[in-house]
């Protein structure tokens, strides 16, 4: 049996996303939606990123988890304002959740807002939150099959941070294979090798963010 839907399934989400997008544009805030499997290292990457940006930019973070404020507390310790969203079993954040917590931030004083999505390589990628960029964090211990097994995540993200590359000597992971798989699924995407532990690749990632902030300012001035 075929069911015809007369209204867009994500209509309410997309309306909220547009509201968020306009708010971010008005306040010149660069917004990055970070997605990954659980344990890929998003929070540790964010801690290091906040420290690297702290002298030049003010950073805010929205943390998405099923439960607890563990990651939000870590982000606060790193020096950024963090607001926790607990989904109580939900596998992703949506634009309405983001809109609800935005009044907790003074967006006029924030340069970069990170949204650390719920750890999941399936649901989060399909939801527009009003962000400027969707990125994925992949880690070496996850193995070489994630890009091909979860193609919709990597088709919808423009940057992949391959984290925990300090473990490459100890694990059977091929960077060349990862690059090949990503190029086949999303030729315009880019893979950046990082290690939040050693700092490898962090300067490339941070420079990418800084360029994003500059672009936001340029667009506002046009």
Give pLDDT tens digits for 109-165.
999 999 999 999 999 999 999 999 999 999 999 999 999 999 999 999 999 999 999
Arithmetic mean of pLDDT, 22-31: 97
pLDDT per position as a tens digit, 170-212 = 999 999 999 999 999 999 999 999 999 999 999 999 999 999 9
pLDDT of residue 94: 97
Share of the chain above pLDDT 70, in %: 95
pTM of the model: 0.94
Which of 166, 172, 211 has the alpha carbon at shortest distance from 44? 166
Please say if the pLDDT value at position 54 is more than 70.
yes
Counting beta carbons within 10 angstroms of the beta carbon of residue 190, is it exposed (0 to 12), middle (13 to 18) or buried (19 or more)? middle
Distance in Å from the first CA to the final CA of the chain: 51
Give residue 2's pLDDT band: very low, low, confident or very high (50, 70, 90).
Answer: very low
CATH fold for domain 11-214: Rossmann fold (3.40.50)
Q: Where in the chain are the domains?
A: 11-214
């Amino acid at each position: 049996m075929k069911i015809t839907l007369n209204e867009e399934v994500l209509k309410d989400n997309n309306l909220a996303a547009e509201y968020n997008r306009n708010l971010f544009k008005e306040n010149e805030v660069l917004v990055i939606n970070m997605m990954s499997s659980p344990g890929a290292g998003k929070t540790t990457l964010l801690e290091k990123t906040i420290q690297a940006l702290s002298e030049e930019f003010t950073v805010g973070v929205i943390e998405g988890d099923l439960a607890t404020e563990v990651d939000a507390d870590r982000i606060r310790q790193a020096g950024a304002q963090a607001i926790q969203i607990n989904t109580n079993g939900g596998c992703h954040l949506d634009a309405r959740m983001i809109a609800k917590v935005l009044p907790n931030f003074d967006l006029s004083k924030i340069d970069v807002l990170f949204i650390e999505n719920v750890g999941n390589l399936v649901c989060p990628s399909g939801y527009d939150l009003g962000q400027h960029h969707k990125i994925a964090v992949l880690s070496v211990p996850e193995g070489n099959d994630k890009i091909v097994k979860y193609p919709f995540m990597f088709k919808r993200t423009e940057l992949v941070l391959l984290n925990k590359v300090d473990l490459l000597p100890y694990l059977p992971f091929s960077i060349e294979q990862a690059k090949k798989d990503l190029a086949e699924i999303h030729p315009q995407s880019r893979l950046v090798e990082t290690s939040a532990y050693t700092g490898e690749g962090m300067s490339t990632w941070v420079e990418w963010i800084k360029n994003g902030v500059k672009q936001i300012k340029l667009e506002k001035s046009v």
